[in-house]
Amino acid sequence: MNKSLIASIIFAAGAFAIFVLILPEFTSIKDAKAALEARRALIEERNSELQKVAELDKQYQARQADIDKILVFMPEQKRIDQVVSSIQQMATQAGLNLAAMMTAAAADTGNVGYKKILVSFDIVGQYPSFINFLKLLEQNLRLYDIFEIVGSPLANSGGAQNIVSFKIKLNAYNLK
């Protein structure tokens, strides 16, 4: 055999080996490296998101006292008993008599994150005591929103002077 024929066969076998055996492996290794880099980027992104969640949790824990304060003036549950007792206590403290009280669920507030409780009550007493009651209501930690006050004088009975009956409608709030 001829030296050039042997060299040609070895060259052909080498070229065949490169294109059939080595080149596909090289391509699959290159694709695997690209997939590995994509997964590393995804892991880094997820780790970054986990760090953000951890930071938000730390902020939440640091602000827990503020959240508790918010839940006092707008609790998560209706707690109508608290509303009734606090209004009764403020009326007594102001020197007024609570004559009648009614509570009901107010109209839907839509998609705002809170619900209204309609509270309607009648109180009887002198006007300065009523002003004191409004101040106490304003200073209360629970959020009350008065939207109607109707006052009417009562006939003097038993020597009492300047007695007025007040009909008050207000909203109390709780979270949805």
- Domains of the chain by residue range: 3-62, 74-175
**Under 8 Å CB-to-CB from 34, ≥6 apart: which residues?**
none
**Under 8 Å CB-to-CB from 67, ≥6 apart: which residues?**
60
Please give the pLDDT value at position 81.
81
| CATH assignment of 74-175, among 3.40.50.11740, 3.30.70.60, 3.40.50.620, 3.30.980.10 | 3.30.70.60
Angle at 113 between CA 108 and CA 117, to 5 degrees: 45
Sheet holding 144-153, edge to edge: 97-105, 114-126, 163-175, 144-153
Please give the pLDDT value at position 76.
62
Could you tell me the CA-to-CA distances from 119 to 89, 143, 155 in Å, in that order? Answer: 15, 12, 26
Backbone angles phi, psi at 154, to 5 degrees: -100, 155
Please give the pLDDT value at position 96.
93
At 91-139, the pLDDT tens digits run 999 999 998 899 887 766 666 777 888 899 999 999 999 999 999 998 8
pLDDT band at 74 (very low <50, low <70, confident <90, very high): low
Amino acid at 7: A
At 25-71, the pLDDT tens digits run 778 888 889 999 999 999 999 999 999 999 998 988 888 887 776 66
pTM score: 0.57
5 pLDDT above the threshold of 60: yes
